[in-house]
Amino acid sequence: MTGHALGLKVSVTTTGRAIVANPDTTMDEAERQILEAGNRIIERDDATRSFLFYHDESEGDGIWVCDHCDFEDFDLAKVEIHEAGHKRNEG
């Protein structure tokens, strides 16, 4: 049998990004607002003034630790920032 006759896999992947609407709002303030609302942040992008809050794909099995405290659950929660000013230390 050749080609794809034996099986076809259908995959759906979603990415969600929040973009700061008010140009006068600082990224730190926006980050605080998102986290205070109980949301998670996977990635902060200052260049586009946006926060990635959902992505289907796993970031891998690495264990990340916070650069401010002993929080180390980043790999399971897929978050980069667990509270305002506290982000994973990839070093």
Partner 1 sequence: MASLLVNRGLQVIVGRASNTADSFTEIIAGSVDDNATGFTATDTALDSVGTVTNSAAVAFDATPTRSAQTTTHVFTFGTGVANFTHKRVALHNLASGSVTASSTSLVGGTDGLTFAKTSAFVVEYSVTIALTDNS
Report the interface residues with partner 1, using CB under 8 A.
1, 4-22, 25, 30, 33-34, 37-40, 50, 53-54, 56
Enclosing H/E stretch for 44: strand 43-45
Give the shortest CB-91-to-partner 1 separation in angstroms. Answer: 29
Cα dihedral 65, 62, 87, 55, rounded to 10, equals -150
Tokens of 43: 């990635």
Give the shortest CB-87-to-partner 1 separation in angstroms. Answer: 19
Give the shortest CB-89-to-partner 1 separation in angstroms. Answer: 25
